[in-house]
Amino acid sequence: MKQPASQVAISDIGRARLDPAAAIEFVSAPGFGGVSVFVGRVRDHNHGRAVTGVSYDLFDALALQRFAEIVREVEAEFGPALRLYVDHARGRLAVGDLAVLVAAGTPHRDEAFRACRALIEAVKHRAPIWKQEHYADGDSAWSEGCSLCHPDDPAADVDRPPRPAHTHAH
């Protein structure tokens, strides 16, 4: 292909917005009939509490490494006829703001849906990104999430998470 088949980015919310039209354009190609896009937005509530905003913290260098790794894995599974796009917001977002945007373009739609889903699942579970929710009552809390510890690493407590792994909706 003439241009890179994937693009990964972190967008500082103070300077740029996530742009679904740009994602669709990027993953398109004359031979591709299907584009699947996922947009994650800040919700106005979580676990029954009114949310006014969310701050996203990222370990930028490692996050971009992980995005690139994830893209290579999805390419290995669904490529080579595949274009991918990943963008995650950083900073304080208001309700309705776009937090994450992923897209996959492929010749047919089944691969597009599956590749897009694989992208967002991996970004959510494996990238060094943390979400702090701000509540209507002025309180705030960092969300619980997925441990990045190597699962076979004995020193870490990942065998005994406070709740069953990945059954929480995040």
Partner 1 sequence: MRVELALFGAFRQFDPGARIELELVNDARVADLRLAFAGYAAAHWPGFSPGLLARSAFASEREVLRESEPIPADRRVAVLPPVSGG
Contact positions toward a copy of itself, by CB under 8 A? 20-21, 24, 28, 30-45, 95-96, 107-109, 112-113, 116-117, 120, 169
If binding is defined by CB under 8 A, does position 134 make contact with partner 1?
A: no
Distance separating alpha carbons of residues 89 and 130, to the nearest angstrom: 11
- Residue 127: name the closest of 45, 71, 82, 79 by CA: 71
Alpha-carbon distances of 103 from 1, 16, 71, 119, 147, rounded to whole Å: 18, 18, 11, 8, 25
Q: Which stretch binds partner 1 (CB under 8 A): 1-9, 20-28, 70-78, 147-155?
A: 147-155
Pick the binder of partner 1 from 24, 81, 124, 135 (CB under 8 A).
Answer: 124
If binding is defined by CB under 8 A, does position 62 make contact with partner 1?
A: yes
Cis peptide before 80 (omega within 30 of 0): yes
If binding is defined by CB under 8 A, does position 48 make contact with partner 1?
A: no
**Given the structure tokens 């059954």, which residue do they identify?**
167
Instruction: Please choose which of partner 1, a copy of itself, none residue 158 contacts, taking the beta carbon within 5 to 8 angstroms, the exact cut-off set by kind.
Output: partner 1
Instruction: Please choose which of partner 1, a copy of itself, none residue 84 contacts, taking the beta carbon within 5 to 8 angstroms, the exact cut-off set by kind.
Output: none
Which pair of tokens denotes residue 18? 């996530």
Find out whether 34 and 111 touch, Cβ atoms under 8 Å: yes
In the complex, which residues of this chain contact partner 1 (CB under 8 A)?
40, 56-59, 61-62, 65, 88, 99-100, 109, 120, 123-132, 142-150, 153-158, 161-162, 170
